[in-house]
Amino acid sequence: LAKTTQPISMDSYEGQEVNITCSHNNIATNDYITWYQQFPSQGPRFIIQGYKTKVTNEVASLFIPADRKSSTLSLPRVSLSDTAVYYCLVVPPFSGGYNKLIFGAGTRLAVHP
Amino acid sequence: DSGVTQTPKHLITATGQRVTLRCSPRSGDLSVYWYQQSLDQGLQFLIQYYNGEERAKGNILERFSAQQFPDLHSELNLSSLELGDSALYFCASSQGGQETQYFGPGTRLLVL
């Protein structure tokens, strides 16, 4: 499984756009890039997943360059409630019901008033 | 609410004891995963079951075991507990393998 590297922490202010970049140099051809969000004492929550180019949902956007060696999670106009830990994961495709998520240390985002 | 339920929410026990954590997956999900999260180790994958069969194993100690029952609920058994086993234990479920995993609220275990 490809290793991911992301900043340990980030600070932002309410209303700003936050971009968290994740490096995954050894990503395999068929791997997907997935982001989870975790609030203190709660289980992680799926945010977004993509394979290439750009994916957008109601919560975030995910930008993946052509070489797929990195990805950027973009959170538009953050609020205090976006303060959480954000995990970038590289996930292999479905294969016989096998799916093992490897969580790194994540990025601790603090949003200030 | 992810649809995944875990019981109990909190558990306090003593070293050397044995406990059982229970997880009910979302309706229709065949896969159940167990994770351990402690302050110094982060979120660690323990084991995955798919439709009753073990499919993937992570850093699960020999003192720990799990199973998935015919109704797809799962139990994680922790025995000969040590102080270092104190952690949050999360269960997650997904439809099969590659799909999104949905995490439960966790069981906070404190070993004294």
Coil, helix or strand for B7?
Answer: strand
Q: Which residues of A touch B102 (CB under 8 A)?
A: 46
Beta pairing partners, A33: A50, A90
Q: Do B97 and A46 touch (CB under 8 A)?
A: no
Residue B41's pLDDT is 74
Report whether pLDDT(B82) > 90.
Answer: yes
A32 touches chain B (CB under 8 A): yes
The whole-number average pLDDT for the span B84-107 is: 89
Interface-testing mutation among A1, A48, A100, with chain B (most B C-beta atoms within 10 A): A100
Q: For residues A9 and A107, what is the distance between their CA atoms, to the nearest angstrom?
A: 5
- Return phi, psi of residue A69, to 5°: -85, -5
- pLDDT of amino acid A92: 79
pLDDT of B58 over the 60 cut: yes
Instruction: Note the pLDDT of residue A63.
Output: 97
Q: How far is Cα A20 from Cα A47, in angstroms, rounded to an integer?
A: 13
Q: What is the pLDDT of residue B100?
A: 84
Name the band, by pLDDT with cuts 50, 70 and 90, for residue A104.
Answer: confident
Chain mean pLDDT for chain B: 93
C-alpha distances out from residue A26 to A20, A59, A68, A98, Å = 19, 27, 9, 20
Whether A88 contacts A101, CB under 8 Å: no
Per-residue model confidence as pLDDT tens digits over A40-98: 889 999 999 999 999 999 999 999 999 999 999 999 999 999 999 999 999 877 665 56
| CA A101 – CA B94 distance, rounded (Å) | 12
In chain A, residues 74-113 whose CB comes closer than 8 Å to chain B:
87, 91-106
B42/A13: higher pLDDT: A13
What is the pLDDT confidence band of residue A13, given thresholds at 50, 70 and 90? Answer: very high
